[in-house]
Structure 1
Amino acid sequence: MLVSTKWLNEYVNINGIKPENLAERITRSGIEVDSIIDRSHGMTNVVVGYVKECVKHPEADKLNICQVDVGDEVTQIICGAPNIAEGQKVIVARTGAVLPGNFKIKKAKLRGEESNGMICSLQELGIEGKHVAKAYAEGIYVLPNDALVGSDALPLLGLDDTVLEFDLTPNRSDALSMLGVAYEVAAILSQGIALPSITYKESNEKASDVLKLRVEAVKDNPMYVAKVVKNVKVAESPLWLQNYLMAAGVRPRNNVVDITNYVLLEYGQPLHAFDYDRLKTGEIVVRHADEGEKITTLDDTERTLNAQNLVITNGEEAVALAGVMGGANSEVHEGTTTVVIESAYFAASSVRQTSKEVGLRSDASTRFEKGVDPNRVQEAAERAAQLMSDIAGGEVLAGSVIFDELDKTPVQITVSPDYINNRLGMKISMDEMLSILERLRIPTQAINGNLVIEAPTRRQDLRIKEDIIEEIARMHGYDEIPKTVPVTESKPGGLTPYQAKRRIVRQFLEGAGLLQAITYSLTSKEQSQAFALETAPVTELLMPMSEDRAILRQSLIPHMLEAATYNVARRIDSVAIYETGSVFLGVEEDGLPREVEHVAAVLTGKWVDNAWQGEMKKVDFFVLKGIIEGMMGRLGMLESLSFEQTTLDGMHPGRTASIFLNGENVGMVGQVHPTEQKKRDLKETYVMEINLEKVLSMETDELLYVPVPRYPSMSRDIALVVSTETSAGTLEMIIQQAGGKLLKDVRLFDLYEGDNVEDGKKSLAFSLTYFDAERTLTDEEVVKAHEKVLNVLTEANALLRG
């Protein structure tokens, strides 16, 4: 809903209140103001001009040289608008003016002729083209003859205005009208409200003498009001009316149609105007459509109806879709002289169904669907008749043609102040509650300590006690609700140990340079068990969206490889991503698949780019292995971590390892098999997947502070010749077990195969660090511990290299 503050000021005095402050107060009372639109856009130096002379430019067929009176001078302006003519009053942006879009008006020469300013269209003043009358959709805007030459054009065009854009919740249909907004603002500001005064002179002829009415679908149309206005002169609406419509986002058409749109915006009651002569029969019949019946609506679209659609007919053919849009066969046009004004109450469900089935929504259908005020149906018709008398020179026939079986009884709500205060946690006095409800114009009586309320029919959202509580709370001020701490025996919330560890995993991987990915849980049958750490019967969807999304995954890796392929195909040659998510294994007792949380990573391309004086490093097995070690170190599990070479389908046979924690297999790491890489258009790609649920559920020792060592450590290096099939990890484990409590660290620092090492053998060099936190070790103690290590290695067929 777009609310012009200039229009609003006609009902509630908001002079002296800045639009920003008004918007803030409205928002705090429960209706959110989405935006504040300054229609002037800060423009100045835009005035009314009079075209005294207009001749063709000698050097350009589409340009005209105009001599324009702007009040204090006559100036020359070059104009290319097709509708420019001598004798017009126009909008002139003088030299120095700045139009919307930061368009500055300067003196210029066009084809050798001087131009001092610009004659403007409404679009050039910031009004959207779809809101400009079709007559001025192209070319400049022509002002009325009574416009004062040299005066500021912005007030004349209604551009000295600010529009508030409301984001209404579905229950606040009352605020879909200017009067509804006026009631709201008057309550917020504790002011009175000036409702329109409806007076006009009636003709001696009665409306019931020229128009007959029959309603057959009473349930969907319990009230119908028709008024007849003769001798109407269809013409352009006065400027004030056009300005209000454009501010509300409605395109002006002609005075009759504009009046119905104006009343719709003012009262929230949709109206429709029929050409009486085009009705032909002098009768209106409201019925349900025949199956397959057709009607061409005002948008020149033929629509096929069904038996549930409500239509307005002339007794012979449909002339309007009830509550949605009129028919082209009864449209008001330039030759119309007699108008029938329709104001009706159509059931929300009927309008909603028709609107949905014919694929057409309108301002009218929106309001009917949300609910209109039954007590404004006739009043809105009277208001439209008054305006047609005043603006279009029409003669309003006496009385109205009415069908009325509508229950207009207001809803009665009884609630006690204690009930309200208990639910708000506040202490609002009954007098304050009565004052709030009085400001909202909600009739209320205090009877036996209770508030007895008659909810006005304009407020369709007031039905139960809680609705009244909301009204009192928002008008008293949500900011006034006291802040309290709940009284409870439960402990404050926090992360579970599992959640805290999972957060550590994510933070570490992101800190290591990997980006988080989120992939589909659904995959194809071929990919469902690829790279799986554990397989089980797959879970198939009964109604899959496609074959590629038919089965729940048992590994995270396939979709992550798809993500890597997608990025590489778009010239992102280095990809490092990870995901934590569920895989689905077998079926539990409740018939649902067993969800197990895993973490997986995919790396391809460069790990370190060759920046200035830097060394480029490609991703390899040891990069990903190091990331896993770092992650386990952060979880306090590094000492129980080990790797063993393995073979897995889809993985490189010589560059794949199983991951063990405390001797239990929890995952795998390695290079994707070259065949699989080629199939996916990838170069060397490394992956890892770990059963995160198993890892994070393991008990770890409490993290304890270790003082900085006061005593020196001693190192010994050894080079061992072993079979090429012997892994460094196996030797490292042997050394750690043999070194006893003095051996604090074992580190592999060299691998050699070649000269001086026989075939089938390799040389592995380790650095061993001995240390005691309580004292300085002697050489004898270190030699003794070191010899024990060497003896054990000899027994394991590891020869000390000389």
Structure 2
Amino acid sequence: MLVSKEWLNEYININVDVEALAEKITRSGIEVDSITDYAKDIKKLVVGHVINIKKHPEADKLNICLVDVGEEEPIQIVCGAPNVAADQFVIVSRVGGRLPGGVKIKRAKLRGEVSEGMICSLQEIGIDQNLMPKKYADGIYVFSDEPKPGSDALESLLLNDAVMDFDLTPNRADCLSMLGAAHEVRALYGNEINYPNTTVNEEHDLAVDEISVRVEDEEATPYYAARVVKNLKIEPSPTWMQTRLMKAGIRPINNVVDVSNYILLEYGQPLHMFDQDEIGSNSIVTRYANEGEKITTLDEVERTLKSSDVVITNGKEPIALAGVMGGNFSEVTEKTQNVVIESALFNAVNVRQTSRRLGLRSEASSRFEKGVATERVNDALDRAAFLLQEIANGSVLKGIVSDGQLPETSKVITISTSDVNRLIGFELSTEDINTIFERLGFGTEIQQDEFKVTVPSRRNDISIKADLIEEVARIYGYDQLPSTLPNFEQSTAGFLTDNQLKTRKVKEILEGAGLNQAITYSLVRKDMATRYTLSSHEVVELMMPMSEDGAVLRQSLLPRLIDAVRYNVARKNKNVALYELGKVFYSKGKDQLPIEVEFLSGILTGEYSGNRWQQKSEPVDFFLVKGLVERIAEQLNVTFTYESAEVDLLHPGRTAYVKLNNQIIGLIAELHPKVEKENDLDRTYVFELNYTEILKEQVGKIEYSVIPRFPGVSRDIALVVDSEVSASSLVETINDNGENILNHAEVFDVYEGEHVEEGKKSIAIRIDYLDINETLTEDKVSNVHNQILAALEAKGATLRA
């Protein structure tokens, strides 16, 4: 909303400069984005009266103008504007003057003729070409009145002014008008408001004899009112109205159309002017549109309507889209003589739906969507009739023709002084609070320290006690809030919880290994929600999803991580390593909050290099990802075991479950080749761990172990087993039979192929023996080693020669 200080001063007298005013308004909660000073950089701009003109003898497109600028003698100015003529009152920049953009005006000779100044267009003094009247878009501006020659042109144009740009939040629709801005300023400074003149000199003829109004559905149109104005004279608006409209960002059209736009800005109440002679009947009916009904709007586009659209009709066919745009055949033109002025309340939801569907966002629709002030509907109608009398010589017929019922214009909220002070920490008296309510224009009844506050409908954002308390706080001043320190009887130093410390360590490990943290959407397509899950649960569906891509809550982090990798690879970033620590959601049934479980997942594709200056890059593989998972386990002081697995959409031969205490808490795998192909990925490996379950594992403090004083013994064995036998089961058997001298068992080779029977494989294991109390003897080692071999043979393993 663009708010002119000059226009604002018409309603409330504020003797502060615009910067101070903008600062105070911003501090009260309405941000002033910018200030446009129209007088900035302009000097020696005066009103000139063109006495006569003649053609330049040396140039067909130039005219020599004799211009009265308030001095003893008129001056000569050479002008090339196509619309310059004698007896015009124009804008003149004198010699020595300045215009926006650093333009300096000097005495000059144009084709041999002296020019002592410049006759200016609006664009040359800083008005946007899209806002100026079309009549003057390609030429100089001509005053519609006759200001005194030599007087300040900026004063005559009302451009000795600064305009504030209010960045309004949706709840502050009351400030989408000059009167609303005046009320806001009154609340801050306390001055009285001078309301516009709405006194209409009505004719004896009755408006109801000319037109009838009927509301078919009060849900669509709670109230509809109209006035009839006869014998209008269509001409340009007065200079003051044109300038105020341009400063507010609206192009002047003619005096009738400009009045409707002027009232929109002044009252915040959208109006519409119908050419009475083109309506097609003496009846105006508002209703819901018929499905498929058509109307051609003012922009000459034929619109197909839906049954949710509200229309204004002549009893048969639509003549306007309620609150959005009028029809083309009843618009005001230069031939218009009689008009019907519409002022109404329309259903905000219907206006918003129609406006959005048809792409017709307008100043009117934006106000109807947010709600207009009930008490201003008829006032705005009277004000429009008054202005048409004044500037278009119209005759206003007697009475307002209306149908429907104006809703309640105010609401009453009960609040006490203690309510206010307790919530915001002030120590305001009842009188102080009452003064603020009065400045806001709220009615009050006081009994001891309790208020009954009557809130006008223009403030539809205020409905409960907390809203009133907020008003008191912002008008009194947020900067006046007292500063206090927390009062702690016992204070403790802040520290990280055990889980927070563990999480930081895990992130350091993964980021140190070259993975980047990703944060992906929790919403996924329904068919993606249960992919790669470790257990089966019902999905949590959104009641009103914005799209199918975000219809349910995820049960795995991997689908969105795959999307992220695909996005990067498609943009030539081939080597991607990401991890995410986030929540998945399991349904507990209807009307129940879902179970939230934290997962840690990662994905790697392309080549991997820990540090390029020490080693060459190598393709990502299963064991690299397994190493990351084992490093996490080591840091968290837990022990994972692994078991081969088959999971849908994962590679059947390169997938393993991660187990903790014999419970599946995650997986490590390569994506299935089909998934890789669908996403245009090379070999891609993933891991996913139930982080919540891992953190539940109770671990003690890591204690120091003395470095052994005695040497250990290592023995390598190669075992032939069935292909289905896992290496981990062999290591487990070794650990179970190694007694107290077994230190470590590790697989270092697996072989299938030549010299090994079909359906068999060879697994090589290194076994380390150590006794921390004494030197190992050959007999002791051999006894334990033979015991291990016997146990392995009992499990079906054969020692390979």
Q: Note whether the superposition's TM-score is higher than 0.5.
A: yes
**Residue aligning to 2:602:** 601
Q: After TM superposition, give the deviation of residue 453 of structure 1 in Å.
A: 4.3
Task: Please give the secondary structure, in 2, of the residue aligned with 1:436.
Answer: helix
- Of residues 1-10 and 345-354 in structure 1, the stretch that sits farther from structure 2 once superposed is 345-354
User: What is the TM-score when the length of structure 2 is the normalising length?
Assistant: 0.72
Tell me which amino acid in the other structure corresponds to 2:634. Answer: G
Cα distance change, pair 355–26 in 1 and its aligned pair in 2 (3 A): same
Deviation string, structure 1 residues 471-494 (Cα, Å, up to 9, x no partner): 4343334455566979999x9999
Are residues 1:702 and 2:703 paired? no
Partner residue in 2 for 1:774: none
1:179 and 2:179 aligned: yes
CA distance in 1, matches of 2:394, 2:440: 37
Residues 583-592 or 432-441, more deviating:
583-592
Quote the Cα distance in structure 2 between the aligned partners of 1:150 and 1:308: 55
Query: 1:240 corresponds to which residue?
Result: 240
Does the 8 Å contact 1:310/1:354 carry over to 2?
Answer: no
Correspondences of 1:83-232 after superposition (within 5 Å): 130-135=130-135, 139=138, 142-144=141-143, 156=157, 158=159, 160-170=161-171, 172-197=172-197, 202=201, 205-208=203-206, 212-217=210-215, 220=221, 224-230=225-231, 232=232
Specify whether residues 751 and 480 from structure 1 end up closer, same or farther in structure 2 by C-alpha distance, changes over 3 A only: same
- 2:254 corresponds in structure 1 to 254
Classify 1:76/1:445 alpha carbon distance in 2 versus 1 (closer, same or farther; 3 Å).
Answer: same
The SS at the match of 2:33 is strand
Q: Deviations over 1:725-775 (max 9, x none)?
A: 7999789889989999999x869898799xxx999989877999998xxxx
Q: How does 1:60-99 map to 2 (within 5 A)?
A: none
Corresponding residue for 2:6?
6
Aligned to 1:776: none
| Amino acid aligned to 1:567 | N
Mapping of 1:22-61 within 5 angstroms? Answer: 22-30=21-29, 32-33=30-31, 35-38=33-36, 40=38, 43=41
| 1:722 matches 2:718 | yes
Q: Post-superposition shift, 1:573?
A: 0.8
**In structure 2, C-alpha distance between the alignment counterparts of 1:550 and 1:500, rounded to whole Å:** 35
Identity of aligned residues (%): 36
Shift of 1:664: 4.3
Q: In 1, distance between residues paired with 2:427 and 2:212?
A: 55
Distance 1:157 1:183, change over 3 A: closer
CA drift of 1:252 comes to 1.5
373-382 or 299-308, which deviates more: 299-308
Q: Is the 8 A contact 1:286 1:310 kept in 2?
A: no
1:619–1:433 CA distance, 2 compared to 1 (3 A)? same
Please tell me the residue identity of whatever aligns with 1:568.
V
Matches within 5 A, 1:171-570: 172-197=172-197, 202=201, 205-208=203-206, 212-217=210-215, 220=221, 224-230=225-231, 232-278=232-278, 283=282, 285-286=284-285, 288=287, 296-302=296-302, 319-320=319-320, 323-336=323-336, 338-340=337-339, 342=341, 344-346=343-345, 348=347, 352=351, 359=358, 362-368=362-368, 370-392=370-392, 394-397=393-396, 399-403=398-402, 406=406, 411=411, 415-421=415-421, 426-447=426-447, 450-456=450-456, 458-460=458-460, 468-478=468-478, 480=480, 505-506=506-507, 508-512=509-513, 513-516=515-518, 518=520, 533-534=534-535, 556-557=557-558, 560-561=561-562, 563-570=564-571
In structure 2, the residue matched to 1:668 is 667
TM-superposed deviation, 1:514 = 3.3
Task: Give the deviation of 1:599 after TM superposition.
Answer: 3.2
Deviations 1:98-148 (A, max 9, x none): 967xx99999xxxx99x99999876687755654434455x4553438596
Alignment: residue pair count: 758
CA distance in 1, matches of 2:551, 2:411: 53
Equivalent residue letter for 1:518: T
Provide the rounded CA distance (Å) in 2 between the counterparts of 1:537 and 1:378.
57
Residues 764, 158 of structure 1: alpha-carbon distance in 2 compared, 3 angstrom cutoff: farther
Query: Structure 1 223/502 Cα, relative in aligned 2: closer, same or farther at 3 Å?
Result: same
Matches within 5 A, 1:540-689: 556-557=557-558, 560-561=561-562, 563-580=564-581, 598-608=599-609, 611=612, 615-637=616-638, 640-643=639-642, 657-672=656-671, 677=676, 681-689=680-688
Structure-2 residue corresponding to 1:692: 691
Q: Distance in 1 between matches of 2:288 and 2:664?
A: 72
SS at match of 1:224: strand
State the one-letter code of the partner of 1:669.
Answer: I
Which residue type is aligned with residue 214 of structure 1?
A: S
TM-score (normalised: structure 1): 0.72
Letter paired with 1:36: S
Deviation at 1:178, TM superposition (A): 0.9
Taking the aligned partners of 2:364 and 2:701, their CA distance within structure 1 comes to 68
Shift in CA distance, 703/136, structure 1 to aligned 2, threshold 3 Å: farther
For structure 1, the 5+ residue unaligned runs are: 772-780
Q: Structure 2: how far apart are the matches of 1:146 and 1:546?
A: 61
Q: What is the identity, as a one-letter code, of the residue corresponding to 2:518?
A: Q
Query: Matched residue of 1:16: which SS?
Result: coil
SS at match of 1:216: strand
Kept in 1: contact 2:625–2:685 (CA 8 A): yes
**C-alpha offsets along residues 411-441 of structure 1, whole Å, 9 cap, x if unaligned?**
5555543455456565431111221122223
Q: Deviations over 1:1-42 (max 9, x none)?
A: 3322332232223343443x4344334434x32622425496
The CA distance in 1 between the partners of 2:774 and 2:684, in whole Å, is 44
TM-fit CA distance, 1:329: 3.3
Query: What amino acid is the match of 1:25?
Result: K
Please give the root-mean-square deviation of Cα atoms over the aligned residues, in Å: 6.0
* Partners of 1:209 and 1:627 in 2: CA distance: 85
Shift of 1:605: 1.2
Q: Which amino acid aligns with 1:682?
A: L
Quickly say closer, same or farther: Cα 1:368–1:67, change in 2 above 3 A: same
Name the CA distance, whole Å, in 2 between partners of 1:233 and 1:193. Answer: 32
CA separation of 1:766 and 1:290: change in aligned 2, threshold 3 A: closer
The SS at the match of 1:572 is coil
C-alpha displacement at 1:188, in angstroms?
0.8
State the alpha-carbon separation in 1 of the partners of residues 204 and 600 from structure 2: 82
Q: CA deviation at 1:234?
A: 2.0
C-alpha spacing 1:159/1:659, structure 2 compared with 1 (3 Å): farther
CA 1:305 to 1:770, structure 2 compared with 1: closer, same or farther past 3 Å?
same
